[in-house]
Structure 1
């Protein structure tokens, strides 16, 4: 009875120590982000319909919105694939023998968010702002406030976001690798010293 009373938390603590406590919720978080990306174009479409855009807009503006909606759908699908791909690779980031687990998870999330933002700003944002600037800048900007004057800078912004997010993620990852390797090296040295002591004891006998 006493053993059960003091060890009932052991499964939960083991769940935390082996990394599943961090890995599984984050994998579900990635799935949620992936699904939200699929719903994003639908939310934009509903918003545009609610504003009555199709009632007062000219044909050129409606055509521009259709093109933008197609681009948003493509970006949403690409984002969905990105988040699902990173979700599948999250298991490789966390190994059960690692002492430091949270750092690799946060590093992986930082990298994925950077890639996602870079995709939306560098590709989707550039194409959408270009279409608005060329076809219907005045009308569409009321329902989709996208900057049209700096569309040529958006690919650069997207690229820089991906680079700096990757840099930050690799810094986190490097800290985790150094810490884990140091911990493993310390354990190995301790085992080696213990074996040497055993050998010395045997030789003395």
Structure 2
């Protein structure tokens, strides 16, 4: 009769040890890192199929330059998520009561670093490319390739990198606050 009520014990031990949180998050990081490599390729292939190079020389060159920036940012994103996939496994202590908080805080921090970096790099260079090639029609071009949010004129050369920087800082602040709270709670228990 005891085995009937205790067969779930290995599963509960797996949850309580924190492995349930750390290992799947590591897999999520790996999937996101691979998506950072695949999405620029998908963007290039779908744009070629939709005739981006038949739209004129300026349009094609501007698209290629923006795509190079996006591909470079995708490579940076790949490295960020890939390197952090190993770190998320070690982020929380074995046997601590609060194990999900540090892991999720690490995800928030990594996501913010990724989003802020992408916004700053793509926003800055896309603004330069759009305005050089299209001037007043830059918003039209940016909208055509799905980057309309990055076209607000030359002010984006300053605004988007600063916004990206603050996204990185804010996500780090939220993550560090959550980890500090979990560390205090775990140490108070001891």
Same fold per superposition (TM over 0.5): yes
How is 1:1-205 mapped onto 2 (pairs within 5 angstroms)? 2-57=1-56, 59-136=57-134, 137=138, 140-141=141-142, 142-146=144-148, 147-148=150-151, 149=153, 150-152=155-157, 153-184=159-190
User: 3-state DSSP class of the match of 1:60?
Assistant: helix
Deviates more, 1:109-118 or 1:59-68: 59-68
In structure 1, C-alpha distance between the alignment counterparts of 2:114 and 2:36, rounded to whole Å: 10
Report the alpha carbon displacement of residue 13 of structure 1 after superposing the two structures with TM.
0.4
Which of these two proteins has the greater Rg computed from alpha carbons?
1
Unaligned runs of 5+ in 1: 185-205
Report the alpha carbon displacement of residue 151 of structure 1 after superposing the two structures with TM.
2.0
Runs of 4+ off more than 6 Å: none
TM-score (norm: length of structure 1): 0.83
Asked if structure 2 preserves the Cα contact closer than 8 Å seen for 1:121 and 1:155, the reply is: yes
Relative to structure 1, the CA distance from residue 11 to residue 63 in structure 2 (aligned partners, 3 Å threshold; closer, same or farther) is: same
User: 3-state DSSP class of the match of 2:145?
Assistant: coil
TM-score (norm: length of structure 2): 0.89
Unaligned runs of 5+ in 2: none
In structure 2, C-alpha distance between the alignment counterparts of 1:151 and 1:45, rounded to whole Å: 25
In structure 2, C-alpha distance between the alignment counterparts of 1:138 and 1:14, rounded to whole Å: 55
In structure 1, C-alpha distance between the alignment counterparts of 2:78 and 2:147, rounded to whole Å: 24
Aligned length: 182
The CA deviation string for residues 63-97 of structure 1, in whole angstroms up to 9 with x for no partner, is 22111111111111110000011111112212112
Asked if structure 2 preserves the Cα contact closer than 8 Å seen for 1:51 and 1:143, the reply is: no
- The CA RMSD measured in Å over matched residues stands at 1.5
Report the alpha carbon displacement of residue 139 of structure 1 after superposing the two structures with TM.
6.1
